[in-house]
Amino acid sequence: MRADVLLQVDDLTVGFGAGPVVKGVSFSVEAGQCLALVGESGSGKSVTARALMGLAGDTAEVSAGAMNLSGASLKDLSPRQWRSVRGQEIGFVQQDALVSLDPLRTVGREIDDALRLRTKLSRSDRQARVLKLLNDVGMDDPALRAGQRSGELSGGLRQRALIASAVALNPALIIADEPTTALDATVQAQVLELLESLRDAGTGLLLISHDLAVVSRIAQHVAVMSGGRIVEQGPTAAVLGDPQHEYTKQLLKAVPSGHPRGTRLSAEKLHVRDRAVLPKPLTRPDSGPVLEANNLTKTFPTSNGLFTAVDNVSFTLAAGSTLGLVGESGSGKTTVARMALGLTDPDDGDVRLFGEPWSGISEKERRGRRPLIGAVYQDPLSSFDPRMTVEQILVDAVSGGKTVRAGAHRDDVRRLLDMVGLPGAVASRGPRNLSGGQRQRVAIARALAPEPRIVMCDEPASSLDVSIQAQVLDLLDELQRELGLSYLFISHDLGVVRHMSDHVAVMQRGRIVEQGGSEQIFTAPEHPYTQRLLEASPRLVLS
Amino acid sequence: MSMMSKVRRRIPGRTSQAHRKVTVPEMLAGAVVLFLVAAVAFPAALAPFDPLAINPADGFQGPSLEHWFGTDESGRDIYSRVIFGARPSLLIGAVATAIGIGLALVLGSLAGLGGKALDFGVGRLLEVLFALPGLLLALVFIAIAGPGVVTSTVAVGLSTAPGYARIIRGQIIQVRGSGMVEAAVVLGRTRWQIVRRHLLPNALSPVFVIATLGLGQAVVWASSLSFLGLGEPPPAAEWGAMLAAGRTYLTTAWWMTFFPGLFIVFTAAASTVLGRGLQRRMVR
C-alpha cells in the first residue's frame, strides 16, 4: 500500500437479505485526489458510499477484504466508533441540503454542533471557527448567514452550508453524494469550484455522481458502476476519452451536449411499429406560427410588493419546430409555460393559438381547443391520478373525460402505448409500479391521446438517469418527426435544450435576454448572461 | 433522506411486504370483528338464552358454566344480552359515523370548492363546533331535540362531523392544487368532471380509513349517551344502557357492568387497530 493512499477498499460486498447490491467492489482514494463513482440509479454507488460511513442500515450485510481509512480498518466498528469516524475522519455531503439540514436550527448552530461535540474549543473560539468556515465556503456575509435557517437560504447557499458543516472538523476524506444535482448551472459551477479547492488543499474526495460532465471536471479517477460492480476504472481522461466497456460507451453516448440535433442518443432503436395505425398528421396551417406570445407580463403579489415573474416576453413557435426555453430556477420559465397552456392569464400582452386569441378568454371558450396543446411535466407521477391504472389514464385521455364502459378504447390504448415504445402489459399497472422512464412515456402517450399539434414539455427528462433521459429525448424527437408536432421545450439543462431545439430563448429574471437559432445561441452567444450560462454549464472536458 | 428511501426501496421485505404483513394484534382485532359481525347477524345462534326473559329466582348470579357472564337483577343472562346488544350498539355507532361523514362531506366540499367566502364561513362554523367537546355538543343537541335512539344517533353523528369536515376540506385543497388536476385542465376537462373523477375520490379515500378509527369512538359515545339514559330505554339490551342498569349494583354484582363494558372496549380497540393498519398501508 502506498503511503498517500487515504481510503483503500477491497472486495466490498453489501447485501440486504436477498442477494448483494454491491458485489465485490475495490477502489482507493488518495489524499488531494478525487475518485468519482459513476453510475445510474440502482447501480449501487450510493450504497457503497453509505457502507463506508457505517450508514448502510441495520439490515445490511457488509463484508470486505479490506476497508482502511488512513491505515486504520473500518471493518466491524461499533456504532460508537462509527460516530467518531463520521465527521472527524469522513465528511459527508448529501444531495439535498434542504432535508439534510435541520429546518428549525440556524446554520451556525448546525455547524457549531460538530465542534461542540468533538473539540475542546471555547464558545467564542467555536463562533470564530464557524464564521471562518462559512467564509471559506464562499458565503458572502458569514455573520448574517450563521443566524439564518436552511429554509431562508437559496439552494446554492444551503449546499455551501452543508459542505461547511462537513469540513468543520477537517476530515481527511469527503464523500459527496450527488452534491450538485439539484442546482442551477451557475450555482453548480460555484459548488464544484469549492469542492475542487478542498481537494487541492489535500482532502481526499469520493464523488458519487451520474453526471459525466461534472465528473470530467473534477475527478482524476473514475470508477464506473453498473449492477453493483465496477465495470471499468482508471484515470478520468482514459476512461471517458477511450472507454473500453460497453456500458461506459453507452453512458457517454447518452450525454446530449455535443451531439447535434437529430442524432440518436440511446442505443436502443425505438420502433414505431406500423405507420398505418398512427394518427394522421392534421393539415398544417400554411407556415403560420402555431403559438405566439406577445409582450407577456405577469406579476404576483408578495409581502414586499409586486414580483414581476414574467416581463415583456414575446416569442413565436413555428409549425413542426421546437422552441427551447432556457433559464435557471426562478427565471419565469414555468410561468410562461402556464400562460402558453392557458392555465394563467397574463396581466399584459396576449397569447395566440393558431392565430386566434388563447389568453383573456373564458375557460369555456378555451376548452374546445384544448386538444390542440398537450403537456408533459417533469414529475409525471404527480400528474397522474394515483387511483387509476395506465389503461384508465389513457382511456380517460382518449375519451375526452366521458364515462365509458370497461374495455372501451382498448385499441387506442394499445396504439398509444405502442407509439411510445411500451409493452401492452403495462396497461394494467398503476403508474407507481412503473420506472421513471416508463412513467414519462405514459405521460407522453397521454399528452398525445387527443392528437395535439403542440406539446409543452416542462423539464421532461430532468429527473431521469442519463441513459433513460436519452431514450425519452429520442422518443420525443422521433414523435415530432412522425407527427409533425411543435414543441415548446423548457429546461435548465443547456445540453438538452441544444439537442432538442431549432430556436432558443434564454430567460433571466422574467425577461428573454436573447433568442435566436439554436446553433447561433450556443456557438456565438451575444448577451453576457447567455455567455455566463454557457460557461458554467458542465461539459465533458477531457484534458 | 431521498437516498435512504431509494436504498430502502431496494431492500426486499423491508417496506412493501413488511408493511402488508398482518400483525398479531390485527389478527386478534379481525377475530373480534368477525365475532361481532356474527353477533349482529345471528344473535340467536350465539346466545343460549332469551335476552329479555325474566327469572327473578336466578337474579344476581355470578359467572358460571351456565351463565358465562352471570345474570342481572331480574335473572336475565348477561352473555345473551351482550350478544343481542351488539346490534343496537354497533348500529348506532355505524349510523352515527355515516351521518357524521355525510354532513362533513357537504361542509368540507363547500369549504374546499366553494370559494373564499364559503371557506371562511364554514371554517368559522367548524371552529365554533370544535370549541365544544364532542360529547357536550351531543348533549346540547339532545337537550333541544329530546332523548331517544334516533336523536342520540344523530347527536353523535353531529358531534363527529366537524373533525371529518376539516380532513375532507384539507384533502380537497391538497388535491385541488396537485399536478393531476392541472393535467386534467390541460386535457380540457370541465370543473364538474374533475371534481367527480379526481377530487372527490382522492379526497375521500383517506377519510374512510379514519372513519374506521372513528367508528369505535362513536360506539363509545353512543353507549355513553345510553348510560346517561338518553338513548335506548330499558330493558333493551344495549351496552350503554346495561352499564347504566348495573351501576347501582357495582359493589355486589360487578359482572353486570364489567362484561358490557369489556365489549365496548373490545369494539373500540378492534376498530382502532384495524383502522391504524389500514392507514399504515394507505400511506405506502
Return the pLDDT at A269. 44
DSSP of A166-216 = HSTT--SEEEEESTTTTS-HHHHHHHHHHHHHHHHTT-EEEEEES-HHHHH
> Does residue B283 register a pLDDT over 80?
no
**Across A248-276, average pLDDT:** 62
| Residue among B9, B178, B181, B187 with most chain A CBs within 10 A, to mutate | B187
In the predicted model, what is the mean pLDDT of chain A?
85
Which has more confidence, B144 or A153?
A: B144
Chains A and B form CB pairs within 8 A to the count of 89
Return the pLDDT at B35. 92
> Does residue A114 register a pLDDT over 70?
yes
Q: Which residues of B touch A (CB under 8 A)?
A: 1-3, 6-8, 10-14, 178-180, 182-190, 193, 197-198, 201-202, 205
Percentage of chain B modeled with pLDDT above 90: 28
Span A243-253, pLDDT tens digits? 899 888 888 88
Assign B284 a pLDDT band (cuts: 50, 70, 90).
Answer: very low
Block residue for cell numbers 437559496: A154
Cα-based distances in Å from A290 to A356, A487, A498, A500, A516: 10, 10, 21, 18, 17
d(CA A134, CA A428): 52
Residue B189: its chain A contacts at CB < 8 A?
Answer: 401
> Does residue A285 register a pLDDT over 70?
no
Span A215-242, pLDDT tens digits? 888 899 999 998 889 999 999 989 888 8
Beta carbons within 10 angstroms of residue B128's beta carbon: 9
> Does residue A60 register a pLDDT over 90?
no
Span B114-138, pLDDT tens digits? 888 999 999 999 998 888 888 888 8
Check A99 against B1: CB less than 8 A apart.
yes
Q: Which three cell numbers stand for residue A40?
A: 445510474
d(CA B77, CA B49): 6
Residue B178: its chain A contacts at CB < 8 A?
Answer: 382
**Across B2-9, average pLDDT:** 38
Check A450 against B188: CB less than 8 A apart.
yes
Check A384 against B2: CB less than 8 A apart.
no
Give the closest residue to A28 by CA, choosing from A69, A75, A65.
A69
Span B232-242, pLDDT tens digits? 777 788 888 88
> Does residue A93 register a pLDDT over 50?
yes
Check B179 against A371: CB less than 8 A apart.
no
> Does residue A278 register a pLDDT over 70?
no
Return the pLDDT at A274. 38
A75 burial via Cβ count (<10 Å: 0-12, 13-18, 19+)? exposed
Assign A504 a pLDDT band (cuts: 50, 70, 90).
Answer: very high
Nearest Cα residue in chain B from A177: B3
Q: Residue B227's beta-bridge partner residues?
A: none
Q: Residue A232's beta-bridge partner residues?
A: A224
Return the pLDDT at A275. 36
Q: Which three cell numbers stand for residue B143?
A: 337537550
Burial call B150-165: b when 16+ CB within 10 Å, e when fewer? ebbbbbbbbbbbbbbb
In the predicted model, what is the mean pLDDT of chain B?
84
Determine which of A304-308, B120-124, B191-195 has the lowest per-residue pLDDT on average: A304-308
Which has more confidence, B229 or B118?
A: B118
Strand-pair category, A511-517 with A503-508: antiparallel
Check B188 against A385: CB less than 8 A apart.
no
Check B188 against A400: CB less than 8 A apart.
yes
B258 burial via Cβ count (<10 Å: 0-12, 13-18, 19+)? middle
| Residue among A383, A395, A465 with most chain B CBs within 10 A, to mutate | A383
Assign A267 a pLDDT band (cuts: 50, 70, 90).
Answer: low
Strand-pair category, A289-302 with A305-318: antiparallel
Return the pLDDT at B4. 38
d(CA B143, CA B151): 10
Check B186 against A374: CB less than 8 A apart.
yes
> Does residue A26 register a pLDDT over 90?
yes
d(CA A316, CA A349): 13
Which has more confidence, B99 or A94?
A: B99
Span A517-537, pLDDT tens digits? 988 998 899 999 999 888 887
Closest in A50, A95, A379 to B2, CB measured: A95
Check B3 against A400: CB less than 8 A apart.
no
